[in-house]
Homo-oligomer: A and B are copies of this chain.
Amino acid sequence: MNTLGYVLLSLLSVKPYTGYELVQIMQTASWQAKHSQIYPLLAKMEQEELLTFEHVEQIGKPNKKIYSISDKGVALLKQWITESPATPIIRDEFLMKMYAISLTDTETAKRLVQERLSTYKEKADSREAAIKSLEQENNENIKDITSKHFGRFIFFERRLRLEKEEISWCKWVLSLLEK
């Protein structure tokens, strides 16, 4: 089992999802993968009895498979969580462009930072909405580790803070570029 497998287990530990949904969720999470990687892996994990799936026939839409984590999957996931994580991998093209930004003119620099700012404003907005709905849907105390939603709460909060930080950095750089 590779890390992606454990990531899928983590997501499915909250509730059952289709492969299609997992792709969407991962886009705004801290691990990305394309459907071509996810579908075969889900099938493999189902064969290894870490997951089960339910076939759902639909009208007007393609049929789907809803995957759930098994007891064996939960046990494996629990064990993985306790192990020390590998150092995060970041591949940020934009930031590498900033590294050599003096090669370009101020206008291009401003445009790039402005684009980045807009992107992250949108991201932060939808993240805030996600946190709010998580809070509203659960009257219980999600700020307690015993809550089923605690993990997602601190996770979303982490991502939101990153996004806000990005926005504040962009504004700071723009102010330097205005001079």
Report the count of interface residues on A (CB-CB < 8 A). 70
Which listed residue (B89, B145, B159, B165) contacts A102, Cβ 8 A?
A: B145
On whether the beta carbons of A99 and B144 are closer than 8 Å, the reply is no
A148 nearest CB neighbor, chain B only: B102
Q: A31-B92, A176-B145 are in contact. Are A85 and B97 (CB under 8 A)?
A: yes
Question: Given A165-B162, A165-B165, is A108 in contact with B90 using a C-beta cutoff of 8 Å?
Answer: no
Q: Closest approach, in angstroms, between the C-beta of A52 and any C-beta of chain B?
A: 18
- Taking CB atoms and an 8 Å cut-off, the chain A residues in 136-179 that contact chain B are 143-152, 154-155, 157-159, 161-162, 165, 168-169, 172-173, 176-177, 179
- Residues from chain B with a CB closer than 8 A to the CB of A86 are 93
Smallest CB separation, A150 vs chain B (Å): 5
Cβ distance A97 to chain B, nearest Cβ, rounded Å:
5
Indicate if the CB atoms of A103 and B77 lie closer than 8 Å.
yes
Q: Check if B88 sits within 8 Å of A89, measured CB to CB.
A: no
Return A83 CB to nearest CB of chain B, in Å.
9
